[in-house]
Amino acid sequence: MLYHLFEYLRSAHIDVPGAGLFQYISFRAGAAIILALLISIFIGKRIIRKLQRLQIGESIRDLGLQGENLKAGTPTMGGVIIILATLIPCLLLARLNNIYIVLMITATVWMATIGFVDDYIKVFKKDKKGLKGIFKVIGQVGLGAIVGFTMLWHKDVVVRMTPEQAEANGYKVENVVFERDAKNANNYVKLVHVKAPITNVPFFKDNELDYSRFLWFMGDNAKDLVWIVFVMMTILVVTAVSNGANLTDGLDGLATGVSAIVIAALGLLAYLSGNARAADFLNIQYIPYSGELVVFSACLLGATIGFLWYNVFPARVFMGDTGSLTLGGIIAALAILIRKELLIPVLCGIFFVESLSVILQVWYFKYTKKRYGEGRRIFKMAPLHHHYQKKGYHEVTISVRFWIIQLLLAVATVITLKIR
């Protein structure tokens, strides 16, 4: 909003001191982090008091975990703090006519609605099961489909390559541009913006994968039907990451801290992918117009760090599904938009392992019950963080160690850009 206001004033030849700073993504991203953090801290205190007055407290199941009785009555639905602290600075500082920003705002509101309804049913309707799983899945599938189809058909969602590359692969050219040669600043090279269902592949020299390769057996029809594979992939990523974040949200500050690290890494990757010089230097895909995602990432990062102020042990508020489902959906959408979804298993390693622990636990219990007549377990309890609680670790120890592991995974993810 402020960006558009200052752009209008500049076009009207009205000089506002400092307005030129809003042309720079780096300035708006820095301002977004600070603003989002302050909003989450100051508005968070009021929201927590409001939730306490409404007696929106967490209903704690008796799982035999250390200190769980102390959590009874702690307000939930605190994800509202993260959502407001993300959207307000985003609306103020981002370019609202940018398709990537539109998609991220849509993803935030979409997943927040699903999470809020789930929490509402649990808290006000006193139904511990919350929103039926099928409706959650439908919502996640819906978001994945929106992101996938928009990326395939919107004119501004393109990647840059040489005319020779576009012609060789049969991509639809949307725009022709001339940019300075990275090796010789005095020369210009002809490049094209194309619609292409491609993504980054870690550890490989060419570093690109065209989803139509999965339909190699269809010959010339592969290009026409590639949308099926691409949209299925976006749906899978959104559903998996959203559920992974939801399962990770079981200890004070755990999901919040892990998400903040993931978001910071995605923000860096968005900057590198949206900056032509950085992309050329690293020899990765340059994605035109995607630089605005840095601003959104900054908003979300500031919001999560600010929420952590109240969510660390002993937590004064829980994010609930309003927050965890939203964070997972946003992270998934952001990774897909910058074409780094294949890095998700590494970047979101904590989410992945938490989900895997639940899958293995349920499968092994059913398998042993069928074979031996009694169910057995791999872990003392799933998800994985509860396994360590059962072993006697304090939840602060578990959360901080998971943060450290996630930090290592985030660094490893960024390093993959040069390891081929």
Q: Which of 406, 227, 261, 384 is nearest to 331 (CA)?
A: 261
Give the rounded distance of the alpha carbon of 264 from its chain centre.
10
Check: CB of residue 284 under 8 Å from CB of residue 198: no
What percentage of the chain exceeds 90 in pLDDT? 65
- pLDDT for residue 59: 58
Task: Dump pLDDT digits (tens) for 26-70.
Answer: 999 999 999 999 999 999 999 999 988 886 665 555 555 665 566
Task: Dump pLDDT digits (tens) for 218-232.
Answer: 877 888 889 999 999
Q: What is the pLDDT along the chain (420 residues), one digit of tens a residue?
A: 788 887 877 778 788 887 788 889 999 999 999 999 999 999 999 999 998 888 666 555 555 566 556 676 788 899 999 999 999 999 999 999 999 999 999 999 999 999 999 999 988 888 778 899 899 999 999 999 999 999 999 999 999 988 888 888 888 888 888 877 666 666 777 889 998 899 988 877 767 888 988 888 887 788 888 999 999 999 999 999 999 999 999 899 999 999 999 999 999 999 999 998 888 888 888 999 999 999 999 999 999 999 999 999 999 999 999 999 999 999 999 999 999 999 999 999 999 999 999 999 999 999 999 998 889 999 999 999 999 999 999 999 999 999 999 999 999 999 988 887
CA distances to 50, 68, 324 from 65, rounded to whole Å, are: 29, 6, 21
- pLDDT for residue 417: 86
- pLDDT for residue 35: 97
- pLDDT for residue 169: 80
**Is this prediction's pTM over 0.85?**
yes
d(CA 37, CA 410): 22
Backbone angles phi, psi at 120, to 5 degrees: -60, -45
CA distances to 153, 310, 317, 404 from 401, rounded to whole Å, are: 42, 19, 21, 5
CA distances to 33, 44, 64, 399 from 38, rounded to whole Å, are: 9, 9, 37, 24
DSSP β-ladder status, 159-161 and 172-180: unpaired
CB contact set of 295 (below 8 Å; sequence gap of 6+): 25, 28, 29, 32, 90, 93, 94, 95, 101
Q: Which of 401, 411, 394 is nearest to 353 (CA)?
A: 401
Q: Which H or E run includes 287?
A: none
d(CA 65, CA 189): 63
Q: Which of 33, 53, 31 is nearest to 41 (CA)?
A: 33
Backbone angles phi, psi at 58, to 5 degrees: -75, 130
**Beta-bridge mates of residue 208:** 200
Q: Which of 104, 70, 406, 72 is nearest to 248 (CA)?
A: 406
- Angle CA 226–229–233, to nearest 5: 140
